[in-house]
Structure 1
Amino acid sequence: MPCHQSDVEPQLLPNNFFLGVDHMSTCLCLCLWSRHRDDSDAYNTAYVCMLKVITETLHVREREREREREMAQSIERERVCVIGGGGYVASWVVNFLLSKGYMVHATVRDPCDERKNGHLKKLKNASENLQLFKTDLLDYEGLCAAIAGCTGVFHVANLVPSDVPNPGAELLEPAITGMRNAELLEPAITGMRNVLNACLNSKVKKVVFVSSVGAVIFNPNWPEDQAMDENCWTDGEYCKTAELWYWLAKTLAESEALEYARRNEINIVTVCPSSCIGPTLQSTRTASSLNLLPHLKGGKESVEDEDLVFADVRDVADAILLAYEKPEAEGRYICSSHTLRSRVLVEKLKSMYPNYNYPKSFTETKRDIKISSKKLQNLGWKSRPLEETIVDTVKSYEESGLLGNE
């Protein structure tokens, strides 16, 4: 409440007396000033004004503290589940959820395996707010137990093999494209159904299903001059012909998840990230965390100069939480930050790290990837500069000993 200064004689006060002074301080100074001048009326007015300001200030601050307590309790009470919590992307999702005060259930194959899952227990707030559940995508009862009591579920489980022994560039392509149809389709489709059935059973309010940009870009019928958006779907027959089983599994699982949502009136949002790069929280490496490694070591004589699409793993985790927390989020969201040719990426890496073993030459390809994350950006998503992500990725590789012999 402002003080009525008409009760005093402002011409007798020093210049700039009120400059930079809040109401309560002003009233206190007026009390002292009027008392010094034996002006009892001015003193009483200023004193009453000061008491009112103090009272109102205390009420405002108490209301603010009450709102903060209510918000903290609201988030703290919210319990969510991350399916495949020990993975490269999922670990960052768990980390960000814990930092926001969520109670987190995370499914892993073996909670006692410190080598694979010990990093989760070391995250901030994990000791109070994280609970690990032993289960996998094909264990429906285990999924039901993990999801029970949760208002939200993040299906981030990855189909890429969890262990990559002696990781190097030569292991990445076979780890994905060399897997057989049955190895990918069954866990992708059956696992997705198990997760969503468990969500329906527990009356989960919202599910974020993490798909892949690979469920978007393999569409030979899409107009070449048009950027691929959420309306573009990978062509299943094309994947079968090219034996791209991993991307077929991702596409079928995402498509069925959205159809499941329409059929059962459950709120499901899908996020389609491009190849993730950036630091890892895991102590052991998975294939999905090695996407930049082939360009830093191996020294192949020639590689295809093709378009590459990348996103920082931390930005992807941000996008996943954004899709969950924004009430207006719906449907699919492409999550991709950078598109560049192999040659351009290698030249950038060479300028930053000249001593690694890079490809010697490049062969031209006709395939260009034009992809848009505008829908996600309109939701409020922002991404890091590529240079920052490269620095953090290489540092993570070096700390893991993956570049030690180069």
Structure 2
Amino acid sequence: MAGKGTVCVTGAGGYIASWLVKILLSNNYIVHGTVRDPGAAKYSHLTKLEKASENLKLFKADLLDYDSLVTAVKGCVGVFHVASPVPSTAVQNPEVELIEPAVKGTLNVLKASSEVNVKRVVVVSSVAAIAMNPSWPKGQLMDESSWSDKEFCRKTKNFYSLSKTEAESEAWEFARKSGIDLVTVCPSLVWGPLLQSTTNSSSLSLINILKEGLKEMANNMGWYVDVRDVADALLLAYEKPEAEGRYICSAHAFYKQDLVEIVRKLHPNYNYPKSFTSGDGIDLKPTTKKLEKLGLSYRPLEETIADSVESYKQSGILE
């Protein structure tokens, strides 16, 4: 079967990007993956993927090094910009460590894509660029028209949300001026099995529920989605000609206490939080009608949790 053309995936060794590379290879794409060091052992999971030996090429690239990105996207008809700084610990200087690389990196990818006449760019944003909106009407489902309030993010020191909001809004500004065909996908908290050898920050949030034995946990509302569904959503956003604008990608909305009960029923023997304090009272929920209309259906949460736990056991993170 003839290939579907060449596409580039930035940050190819990351959690979402690894699954995207896997699905692209299995759908007969040739993939250019950007990584920091193509020879590093931590990317060996990519080279072991089916069809990787003939259809995956890893490029040494840095989001802040424009020329390295041009080299990686040259010859590509599509680009998936997945790489973005996600801190697993507190950042000392958010402007330098988070916001600047997120914004500058995204613009560099878009400029490089524009320079080599890429047909469509799909950017992974986040519900972090949607949900931090204190003026959203209470009780109304959040949709793609909602944007996180930048001043509110600064005031509440939510610098990750600020970085995603700044990066996505700058991306749309660039698309308006340049005419590049841009689609953004905004996933919520991503769980599901790991392909990479390192633990990422969103998986840690589930691992901590299972093993930290926390004395108490705030009973906040959370939104969740399976990493494999995110990869499917990105492919749909790229392949469907009618795809346009932003897409919320989130399958489930639960209060933490209810979520922990679901996990506990499936795996009763782990060290769960002992009690719950009242949360922040925000119970906003997203609608994903737009993405479902494009053809996405979500896995059940129980499947995501079961496959996540199995994956953590296999990689020695859980016993």
Residue 292 of structure 1 aligns to a residue whose secondary structure is helix
What's the counterpart of residue 45 of structure 2? 119
Alignment-mate amino acid for residue 182 of structure 1: V
Between Structure 1 and Structure 2, which shows a larger proportion of helix residues? 1
Using the size of structure 2 for normalisation, the TM-score is 0.97
Show the 5 A alignment for 1:360-375.
360-365=274-279, 366-375=281-290
Structure 2, unpaired ranges of 5+: none
**Mapped pair 1:130 → 2:44:** no
User: Structure 1 residues 178, 309: CA separation in 2 closer, same or farther (over 3 Å shift)?
Assistant: farther
What's the counterpart of residue 19 of structure 1? none
What's the counterpart of residue 156 of structure 1? 82
**Mapped pair 1:342 → 2:256:** yes
**Paired residues of 1:211 and 1:271 also in contact (CA < 8 A):** yes
What's the counterpart of residue 307 of structure 2? 392
User: Structure 1 residues 100, 393: CA separation in 2 closer, same or farther (over 3 Å shift)?
Assistant: same
Show the 5 A alignment for 1:7-406.
72-73=1-2, 76=3, 78-114=5-41, 116-161=42-87, 172=88, 174-175=89-90, 180-365=94-279, 366-404=281-319
Structure 1 runs of 4+ with >3 Å offset: none
d(CA) in 1 for partners of 2:38, 2:113: 22
User: Structure 1 residues 158, 403: CA separation in 2 closer, same or farther (over 3 Å shift)?
Assistant: same
d(CA) in 2 for partners of 1:352, 1:306: 21
Residue 273 of structure 2 aligns to a residue whose secondary structure is coil
Shift of 1:291: 2.9
Task: For residues 10-64 of structure 1, give each alpha carbon's deviation from its aligned partner in whole angstroms, at most 9, with x where no partner exists.
Answer: xxxxxxxxxxxxxxxxxxxxxxxxxxxxxxxxxxxxxxxxxxxxxxxxxxxxxxx
Residue 211 of structure 2 aligns to a residue whose secondary structure is coil
**Paired residues of 1:85 and 1:108 also in contact (CA < 8 A):** yes
Residue 205 of structure 2 aligns to a residue whose secondary structure is coil
d(CA) in 1 for partners of 2:92, 2:261: 29
Task: For residues 205-257 of structure 1, give each alpha carbon's deviation from its aligned partner in whole angstroms, at most 9, with x where no partner exists.
Answer: 00000000111000000001211100000000000001111110100101111
Residue 296 of structure 1 aligns to a residue whose secondary structure is helix
What's the counterpart of residue 63 of structure 1? none
Alignment-mate amino acid for residue 151 of structure 2: E
**Paired residues of 2:139 and 2:284 also in contact (CA < 8 A):** no
Kindly report the root-mean-square deviation, in angstroms, between the aligned alpha carbons of the 2 structures.
1.2
Using the size of structure 1 for normalisation, the TM-score is 0.77
Residue 391 of structure 1 aligns to a residue whose secondary structure is helix
The percentage of counterpart residues that share the same residue type is 55
Shift of 1:178: 6.3
**Paired residues of 2:186 and 2:246 also in contact (CA < 8 A):** yes
Q: Which moved more, 1:206-215 or 1:394-403?
A: 394-403
d(CA) in 1 for partners of 2:112, 2:260: 45
Shift of 1:77: 5.1
Alignment-mate amino acid for residue 152 of structure 1: G
Alignment-mate amino acid for residue 286 of structure 2: I
What's the counterpart of residue 49 of structure 1? none
**Paired residues of 2:182 and 2:244 also in contact (CA < 8 A):** yes
**Paired residues of 1:276 and 1:291 also in contact (CA < 8 A):** no
Alignment-mate amino acid for residue 124 of structure 1: E
Shift of 1:286: 2.2
**Paired residues of 1:277 and 1:290 also in contact (CA < 8 A):** no
d(CA) in 2 for partners of 1:179, 1:159: 13
User: Structure 1 residues 178, 322: CA separation in 2 closer, same or farther (over 3 Å shift)?
Assistant: farther
**Paired residues of 1:153 and 1:199 also in contact (CA < 8 A):** yes
- How many corresponding residue pairs? 318
